[in-house]
Chains A and B, each alone.
Chain A
Amino acid sequence: MSKFEFPPSIPSRPVWGTLEARSGKSHLMIADAEGAEAILDVATPEMMANTHIIFISNGTDYADKLRTLNPAQFYEGPSYPASVQRIQRVLSAAHMGLQVYLAGTESLMGQAMNEAVNAGIPHTAIQTEHRGSTARRMQCVHCKGMTENVEMDPFVCSHCGLNLFVRDHYSRRHAAYQGVCIDAEDPGNVPEPKGIYE
C-alpha cells in the first residue's frame, strides 16, 4: 500500500520515519491497523525470535498475518487504552539495547512514544512509521478533552461540544494536535467541514 506524504508543516508537527530492522537483544513492536504492514516489511525470522508484538487491529484483519511471523510474544489488544498498561509493564522491564518500533496511526505512535520516553528508552532506539489512517488525535484547548479519529476540519469536540478548527500545533506530552473554537468571533458561523488534507 502506498504511504501518505504529509505536506510540509510547522516545527512542532512530528515527522515520522521508515522502520528498518536493527540489531538488538530484544525488540518491542507496537502497531495499529495498517501499521502491521510496516512490521511485515521489516520482519526477519532471527529478529522475531526476540520480538514482542503488541497489535491493535481497529477492525482490520492483519492479526493472523502477524502471528505467522512467529514472534516470541504476540498480544492483540482490543484498543489502545486497553493495551497501555501492558505496554508500560513491558517497557518497565526493558533492558539496555531494547529496540522499539511504532507503526500505524499518529495517535498510536504519539501515545506509545510517550510511554517509551517516560520509561527512559533513548530516542535513538525508537523508530516510527506512519501507515493507514491520517486521522488526528485532537485536544480541545478549552475543556482539555481528547477527541480521537478526527478526519474533518472543523469538528465538534466530543466532550464540550464546541466547534473546533484543527491546528498543526502538536504537543508530544499530550500526543495530540490542538483544537480551537472556530466561531468565537461569529457564533454559529461554522464552515462546511472538509478533510484535513483536502
Chain B
Amino acid sequence: MTIQFNDETFRDDYTFRNSDWAIKRFPFPFHEDSYMYSVNMEQHKGGPAGSVYEKRFDVDEHYVSEMRDRAKVLDEDPLRCQSLPHMTLAGWDLLELIMESKSEDYPDLFELHRDGNKWRWINKPLGIDDTFTFLDESTLPYGPMEYITRQAQGDYAVLDQRDDMLWMDAGMITTQADWSLDFDIGMNFFEWHAPVPLAHEKGIFIRALKFLLNVQQGAPARRLNWTMTVNPLLDTSPEHYHKWGIQKTELTAENIGQKQHLRVELQTFFRLPRSNALVFPIRCYLCSFQDLMTMPKWGRRLHRVIRDLPVELATYKGFIDNRPLMIDYLSQFDDGLPTSPGIWPDRETEPPLQK
C-alpha cells in the first residue's frame, strides 16, 4: 500500500494521531496478562504482512513528521548525536544497511543506485536526491551515521564490540525513554543498564549480553520494550525532564484516555559487516489509551498488566503516581473474560466487551 504521511507534531500542540491502520498494527507488547522483565529476544526475519515486524526498518505514516521533530531536537542540542572517532566505519556500515533495506523493502519510496563507490540515494518522502562517494565523509553533509539516521525513524545506538563486551560508542538518540546518550556514551552494557531495577539480580543482562555478542551478520534479532508517556511527546529526554515532567501531573479522569500513551519500543539488533559493530535501532510507537481500548483484548489485558505490575517497575518507568488513575480508567474495559495468547489483537475471534 502507499503510505499517507501525516503532518503532525509531537510537542506543544500535539497534533499526533494514529489512523485505524496504525492502531491495528500497533506493537502491543504484552503476550499474556502479566509482565516481568525477561530475556525476550527472537529472530527478526519478517512477520505478518502489514505488521511492524514485516520489514527490516518499518516506515509508517509518522515518518516525515518524526524526521522533522528529530531535526528540531538536533538544532537545539547537537549532543543528541555523537560518534567517538573509531566509530566512523560502523556509521558507513549502518548507512549501507539502511539504504539497502529501505530501497529493497520500499522501492516506491527509496532508491539506491550504485556504480562502484559512487552512490546515488533518492528519498522521495523527504525530497532528497544525493550523490556521494561511499566511505568518503567529505561527500556527505553530515557524518554517515547522522546522515542516514536523520532519515530513519527511531533511535540508533551503535555498539563497538571488544573484549567480549559491547560499548556504547555512538548514537542518534532523540526519542528516548528518559536516558542520556551524552552521559552514557563510552559505557559498557552493564554500566548503561545500571539504573534498571531487578533485572541485574535476575541474571537477565548477563544472558542478554551473551546472546548479543553472538548475533551474526544477516541474522538480526528483536525484542519489545515499553513504558508510559503523557502526551505523544517523542523527546522524553532527561535533558528536558525539568520541562516535560510537569505534564505527568496534568492527567485527570476526564483526559486520561486521550492524553495517556503506551510507548512501545521495537528494538532490533543487526551485526555490521566491516566494523563488526552491533547496531541497536530503538523504534518508538505511541498509542493513546482510548485508541488501544478499541481492541477488546488489549483493554482486558492492559488493565491486568498495569494493576499487577511490581512497584519497582512502575516507579522506574515513572508512572507510579498515575497508576491509580490508570487502573480506574482501564478497569472499565476489563470484563474478566479470558484473553487469547500472543500480542495480536485477534479482532475477529475475541468477544466484544461484555459490560
Is B36 among interface residues, defined by CB-CB distance under 8 A?
no
Which residue of the partner chain, among B193, B194, B249, B321, contacts A13 with CB atoms under 8 Å? B194
Nearest-Cβ distance from residue A172 to partner chain B, whole angstroms: 7
By DSSP majority rule, is chain A's interface helix, strand, loop, or mixed? loop
| A10 contacts across to B, CB distance below 8 A | 194-195, 200
Q: Does A11 contact B (CB under 8 A)?
A: yes
Per the bound structure, the CA–CA distance linking A181 and B240 in Å amounts to 10
Within 8 Å by CB of A139, from B183, B185, B186, B187, lies B183
Residues of B within 8 A of A171 (CB): 183-184, 186-187
Is B190 part of the binding interface, using a Cβ–Cβ cutoff of 8 Å? yes
* Chain B residues, CB < 8 A from A46: none
Alpha-carbon distance between A139 and B182 when the two chains are bound, in angstroms: 11
A141 within 8 A of B: yes
CB distance from B199 to the nearest CB of A (A): 11
- For B186, B194, B243, B321, the residue with the greatest tally of chain A CB atoms inside 10 Å of its CB is B194
Number of A-B contacts (CB under 8 A): 63
Answer whether A169 and B239 are a contact pair too, CB < 8 Å, given A11-B200, A174-B183: no
Cα of A11 to Cα of B239 in the assembled complex, Å: 22
- Please count how many residues in chain B sit with their CB below 8 Å of the partner chain's CB atoms: 26
Known A181-B245, A185-B246, A186-B249; judge A169-B194 contact (CB<8 A): yes
User: CA A186 – CA B245 in complex, angstroms?
Assistant: 9
Tell which of A168, A172, A173, A184 touches B242, judged by Cβ atoms closer than 8 Å: A184
Q: A11-B190, A141-B238, A178-B183 are in contact. Are A185 and B245 (CB under 8 A)?
A: yes
Contact of B183 among A141, A181, A184 (CB under 8 A): A141
B193–A184 CB distance below 8 A: no
- Inter-chain CA distance A107–B351, complex, in Å, is 61
Can you name the residue of chain B whose Cβ is closest to the Cβ of A163? B242
Provide the bound-state CA to CA distance between A187 and B248, in Å: 13
Would you give 7 A-B contacts (Cβ < 8 Å), ordered by A? A11-B194, A12-B190, A12-B194, A141-B183, A171-B183, A178-B183, A178-B238
With A180-B241, A184-B243, A185-B248 already in contact, 6 other A-B pairs whose C-beta atoms are closer than 8 Å: A10-B195, A142-B239, A173-B186, A174-B183, A178-B183, A184-B241
| Residues in chain B within 8 A of chain A (CB atoms) | 79, 180, 182-187, 190-195, 200, 238-243, 245-246, 248-249, 321
